[in-house]
Structure 1
Amino acid sequence: MSKKTKKKKFDLSLLRKVFTYVKPYRLQFISSLLLAIILAIFTPIRPYLIQLTIDKAISKTGSIPTWLHIFISGDNLNDVTRFIVSVTVFQIIFLLIETLTRFTFTFLTSWLGQAVVKDLRVNVFNKISHLHLRQFDRTPIGTLTTRTINDIESINDIFSDGFIPIIADLLSIIFTLATMFFLNWKLTLISLIPFPILILATYYFKETVNKSYKRVRNAIAALNAFVQEHISGMAIVQAFAAEDRERKKFDIINKQHRDANISAIFAYSVFFPVVEIILALSLGILIWYIADRKIDAGLLVSFILYLNQIFRPLRVIADKFNVLQMGMIAAERVFTVLENQDILPPSKPDAYNPSTVAGRVHFDKVSFAYNSTHYVLKNINFKIEEGETVAIVGHTGSGKTSIISLLNRLYEIQEGEILIDDVNIKSYNLDTLRSNIGVVLQDVFLFSGTILDNITLRNPAITEAEVIETSKMIGVHDFIMQLPNGYHFNVMERGNSLSLGQRQLISFIRALLYNPSILVLDEATSSIDSESEMLVQKAIDKLISGRTSIVIAHRLSTIRKAHKIIVLDKGEIKEIGNHQELLEKNGFYAKLHQMQFAEEQISA
């Protein structure tokens, strides 16, 4: 089988996937196809009526079709004046009906496209929200944004400007050609002599524009990824005076986008004049052929109109086919996301779903790698009893944060097992598991919206009164009330209107409000000032009271009260014990403590 055949089959398969989203809208889809057929039937009628009117006005004779007698009954159609007036009135009414039908067809196809796009976009977002986190490690955010917005919007064109409109145009051409052959097959063949040239020009135009549009889509994805990344990291760009260097990189990507568009524009600039020339050539051949032959004037005029009705859709049908192709390319990218199987499998109906979780944690011979070659955790073994506070320390890159990611199944382990209350976490209902593990990260992410929205995550089951009560419990209420509008203060994108310490405090309220059985604090005080740290430390004391807590700490001074300290280095556990025991061992932890104490003395 040739590559070309394979590509065709693939496209048809992809089109079938797109049309599975049309099933809920079968009525609208069938209606649009019926309207396309009706419009195609309407197409040759007006030129034929003009032909009859001219012939009647000139020769005063000519047969009147039976169907016209049905629509214009009661008038003496043999009278020239009555005939012309009646047919003119009929044409005006017919034109209004045709216009209304065309409006309905255009609106219905566009509505259908938007309905499919809505459903697709929801499915894509839902899919993205369930992907394994490693997918976000590998894929730029701008690329996923393009898939969710730009590419899905292009799928709308399959319906509004692609598949159904192409069918409508092809049917119009077929009905027009059939009418021409019925009226005079010789004249039809003569006038279509230049037609092969048009087909050849259309093919080259389609191929050229298709290649250009592919380049345009790739350039758009690259632009989105670049802009998204650099807007997020603008503080770094400006801090290192890299504006000019990054602008030059952007300029290169932008030029690629421009060049791809210009290539498509050039193809349009050549193709449309070529179509006009071929149309003129057809008309010239037609006039030349009838120069020395007796042809009714009405037939000549109708054939000129018919040729325009054939060439007009052919001018745009190649463009519509490219729109269809671009929609298919976009659909291929979108379905690549939808068919991505790198997700956590949904919880089984019989998944373990306890009403309460005590909070005992057991890592049993756990090994984990983000890729198959480099293990970041190797044979990790430790237990945490209910209500214990355990600290995890180690150099940057030792695997501390990876342990948190594994505990709530953001990543899957390669070896060993993780148990909570002596049950493998893979057996838990995923929602139950994660709702019982509260995580406060070092880099707190806040969404655009109010403080209240960010604390409740827009969960309607949580009232403002409950939020206020929780805030007072950990001593954060006064800080929030000092802000404009209090709990309704807009934190802006990523919480940029708040300090790091303030964002941290909001995340504490959020964690406590959901009342998790296991609390994880990931270096919660490592990057805030001393004043904020005192407030944060008080909040932490409230948070960890009476619940199993895992504290990842950079400052060793903050974990002296921990029941147990786990020392990690290069993905392996070096020591386990409390603060005093580890100092007395004079091992890895003692060296870390000495180094940090020396750094604090120097900075002081």
Structure 2
Amino acid sequence: MVMRRLLGYLKPHRKTLICAFILLLLATGAEVAGPLLAKIFIDDYLTPGIFPAKPLVFLGGAYLGLLLAGVVMQYFQQFTFHRIALRVIQQLRVDVFGKVQHLGLSFFDRMPGGALVSRITNDTEAVKELFVSVLSTFVQNLVLILGVFVALFLLNVELAAYCLVLLPLICGLMVVYRRLSHRAYREVRRKLSELNAKLSESIQGMNVIQALRQEGRLKREFGVTNREHYLANMQTTRLNGLLLRPAVDLIYLLTIMAVLTFFGIGMEESAVQIGVLYAFINLLDRMFEPVNQMMQQLSFLQQSLVSASRVFELLDEERLAPAREGSGNPEITRGRIVFDNVTFSYDGKTDVLKNISFTAEPGQTVALVGHTGSGKTSIINLLMRFYPLKKGRITIDGVPLERYRDDELRRKMGLVLQDPFLFVGTVEDNIRFHHPDLTDAEIREAARFVQADSFIEKLPKGYREPVGERGATFSSGQRQLLSFARTMALNPRILVLDEATAHVDTETEEKIQEALSRMRKGRTTIAIAHRLSTVQDADLILVLHRGEILERGTHQELLAHQGLYHKMYRLQQGMEESQTG
């Protein structure tokens, strides 16, 4: 099944593949014809001691011509096979990367980043070896073995028929090796994936590891996994050492002994042509070298098939991002949001949201507050359609959320996260991320709108300043301002904020709050707030507790109610006063 799917990638290259195969047949014919010409020279000229000039020159020229033609055709057929293989892998990697882009967040919740990177890089690299080395080697050598057998039958039909016994012996050896090595190679790939996952996690969390002085423990854990990877590799090494070349060499020696015995017995009854014996042994030697090459490639074949199965598992992953349902192309014009009796669970067992209902009118700001785990982020995840909705209904402008196209939702809804993510590139690349066609003037206008222009213009290269991985060279406040500029360049109808001022200093917070007040004008805003002081002017505050809306109202109304919101507000006020004092 895996091999069939892999071979399916060759369909677009059928014509080129046929040309390569024809070249392969011609190169194989040139190679096996050499011993036949040598047989003619030995039996017809060398043994009787006859050396006519013209036939010998013709024979020698033909032999050299075959060698030269074989080399040229061998080069071009290998070049063609490899070019096809590299194009196949290029397409496979694009398919895998494209698939990952459309997987739902539920998949990434359970798949470690390092393990996923391992599948996209290491496993596809192993599959590349299958096409570049393994398949081309098998095809070339199988054709060569077939050509050798044709030549053997031309030399001696009876002995060639006996030699056919070699084929089931060699095939049986390959089947036994594949069955024994499959589990071992799967364990090798699994342990390599774990190593990548641990490495990726350690690099990303290096500041925490060093701060808590856990370098030694992480090193020991990595060492344990590395040891398990080593043991899995040793198991495959033992299989290779036993079942690959040693076993084939044993079959080869037994075959040569049988051939010499056959010719030895034949010499008692009639004269044996020395040229036939030479050609027969030479052809057998040429046959067993490809067999050895194929056996050596079996380990790569097994690794490639295991890796391919892991790649196809990823391509077959069904946890896709929720897609549009229904027909029509509704557009978000006003931004009226309605949650109607929404209940949601990540694992299908425990509800993290229970009967959530509220309405955000166009231009209003609705704040979500509550303790950690109360369901605030889950509401945003559902509104952004990161997860499929099972119970209840969410509508925007009266249209069910699932009926909107992805590009309409992403264009009309701007998301700013608590921890902004910047991509490798330049400042202007990051602001332009949503819309590659934005002009320089539009980029600068978005930056001015959120007051990010003041620090951008002070950078050595301004808007062309390089941005490293995750924007590590910028402060948290600068990263947040850039993410705001990126959102405003989108000019969304709905604004979704996840505590946008959580990790910024007071001066930057004032800039962001000023920008936020302008951004919210005329836009529907859903904001998660950890600091209640930032949402006092919200039109509606929803107090969440264990997945339910416990209280709702304005800031003053909730304080007058003296419930959970009142307690949270008093607690934060007391903490701020103690810090100020």
TM-score with structure 1 length normalisation? Answer: 0.89
| Paired residue secondary structure (2:9) | helix
Q: What per-residue deviation string (whole Å, max 9, x for no partner) do you get for residues 231-251 of structure 1?
A: 111121111111111111111
Task: State the 1:196 CA deviation.
Answer: 7.3
User: In the alignment, is the contact (CA less than 8 A) between 2:366 and 2:525 conserved in 1?
Assistant: yes
Mapped partners of 2:75, 2:155: distance in 1: 30
User: In the alignment, is the contact (CA less than 8 A) between 1:387 and 1:548 conserved in 2?
Assistant: yes
Structure 1 position 226 matched with structure 2 position 198:
yes
Aligned to 2:394: 418
Structure 1 position 261 matched with structure 2 position 233:
yes
Q: Give matches, 1:479-494, under 5 Å.
A: 479-494=455-470
Q: Give matches, 1:110-509, under 5 Å.
A: 110-188=82-160, 202-270=174-242, 271-291=244-264, 293=267, 294-344=271-321, 346-347=323-324, 350-354=327-331, 357-457=333-433, 459-509=435-485
Q: Please identify, of 169-178 and 356-365, the stretch whose mean Cα deviation from structure 2 is larger.
A: 169-178
| Paired residue secondary structure (1:534) | helix
Structure 1 position 54 matched with structure 2 position 42:
yes
User: In the alignment, is the contact (CA less than 8 A) between 2:182 and 2:306 conserved in 1?
Assistant: no
2:522 paired residue among 541, 546, 552: 546
User: In the alignment, is the contact (CA less than 8 A) between 2:416 and 2:500 conserved in 1?
Assistant: yes
- Residue identity opposite 2:18 in structure 1: I
Mapped partners of 1:419, 1:238: distance in 2: 47
- Residue identity opposite 1:471 in structure 2: A
Identity over the aligned pairs, expressed in percent?
36
Mapped partners of 1:378, 1:590: distance in 2: 23
Mapped partners of 2:327, 2:194: distance in 1: 44
Mapped partners of 2:309, 2:166: distance in 1: 37
Aligned to 1:15: 3
| Paired residue secondary structure (1:460) | coil
Q: Please identify, of 129-138 and 425-434, the stretch whose mean Cα deviation from structure 2 is larger.
A: 425-434
Q: What per-residue deviation string (whole Å, max 9, x for no partner) do you get for residues 112-162 of structure 1?
A: 121111112112211111111101001111222122222223223333333
Distance 1:212 1:31, change over 3 A: farther
Task: State the 1:372 CA deviation.
Answer: 0.9
| Paired residue secondary structure (2:419) | coil
1:42 paired residue among 13, 30, 48: 30
Mapped partners of 1:562, 1:464: distance in 2: 34
Aligned to 1:71: none
Task: State the 1:600 CA deviation.
Answer: 1.6
Task: State the 1:88 CA deviation.
Answer: 1.8
| Paired residue secondary structure (1:445) | coil
Mapped partners of 2:163, 2:392: distance in 1: 78
Contiguous gaps of at least 5 residues in structure 2: none
Distance 1:230 1:103, change over 3 A: same
User: In the alignment, is the contact (CA less than 8 A) between 1:364 and 1:381 conserved in 2?
Assistant: yes
Aligned to 2:558: 582
Mapped partners of 2:97, 2:514: distance in 1: 38
User: In the alignment, is the contact (CA less than 8 A) between 2:322 and 2:387 conserved in 1?
Assistant: no
Mapped partners of 2:359, 2:326: distance in 1: 29
Structure 1 position 98 matched with structure 2 position 70:
yes
Task: State the 1:359 CA deviation.
Answer: 1.1
Q: Give matches, 1:521-532, under 5 Å.
A: 521-532=497-508
Mapped partners of 2:460, 2:560: distance in 1: 51
- Residue identity opposite 1:88 in structure 2: G
User: In the alignment, is the contact (CA less than 8 A) between 1:193 and 1:282 conserved in 2?
Assistant: no
| Paired residue secondary structure (2:467) | coil
User: In the alignment, is the contact (CA less than 8 A) between 1:456 and 1:510 conserved in 2?
Assistant: yes
Structure 1 position 567 matched with structure 2 position 543:
yes
Mapped partners of 2:7, 2:160: distance in 1: 37
Mapped partners of 1:126, 1:159: distance in 2: 21
Mapped partners of 2:381, 2:233: distance in 1: 44
Task: State the 1:472 CA deviation.
Answer: 1.5
User: In the alignment, is the contact (CA less than 8 A) between 1:191 and 1:285 conserved in 2?
Assistant: no
Aligned to 1:30: 18
User: In the alignment, is the contact (CA less than 8 A) between 2:114 and 2:200 conserved in 1?
Assistant: yes
Task: State the 1:431 CA deviation.
Answer: 1.2
Q: What per-residue deviation string (whole Å, max 9, x for no partner) do you get for residues 394-440 of structure 1?
A: 11111111111111201112211111111111111221022111010
Mapped partners of 2:14, 2:170: distance in 1: 36
Mapped partners of 2:196, 2:365: distance in 1: 44
User: In the alignment, is the contact (CA less than 8 A) between 1:32 and 1:164 conserved in 2?
Assistant: no
Q: What per-residue deviation string (whole Å, max 9, x for no partner) do you get for residues 38-65 of structure 1?
A: 344334211111111222332348xxxx
Distance 1:302 1:400, change over 3 A: same
User: In the alignment, is the contact (CA less than 8 A) between 2:424 and 2:471 conserved in 1?
Assistant: yes
User: In the alignment, is the contact (CA less than 8 A) between 2:323 and 2:402 conserved in 1?
Assistant: no
Aligned to 1:597: 573
User: In the alignment, is the contact (CA less than 8 A) between 1:369 and 1:413 conserved in 2?
Assistant: no
| Paired residue secondary structure (2:122) | helix
Mapped partners of 1:265, 1:197: distance in 2: 22
| Paired residue secondary structure (2:195) | helix
Aligned to 1:66: none
| Paired residue secondary structure (1:447) | coil
Distance 1:107 1:179, change over 3 A: same
Task: State the 1:209 CA deviation.
Answer: 4.2
Distance 1:108 1:195, change over 3 A: closer
- Residue identity opposite 1:534 in structure 2: E
Task: State the 1:583 CA deviation.
Answer: 0.6
Distance 1:228 1:351, change over 3 A: farther
| Paired residue secondary structure (1:419) | strand
Mapped partners of 2:182, 2:18: distance in 1: 29
User: In the alignment, is the contact (CA less than 8 A) between 2:248 and 2:292 conserved in 1?
Assistant: yes
TM-score with structure 2 length normalisation? Answer: 0.93
- Residue identity opposite 2:104 in structure 1: H
Q: What per-residue deviation string (whole Å, max 9, x for no partner) do you get for residues 497-549 of structure 1?
A: 11111110001101111000111110111222222222222222222122111
Mapped partners of 2:541, 2:97: distance in 1: 40
**Superposition RMSD in Å:** 2.4
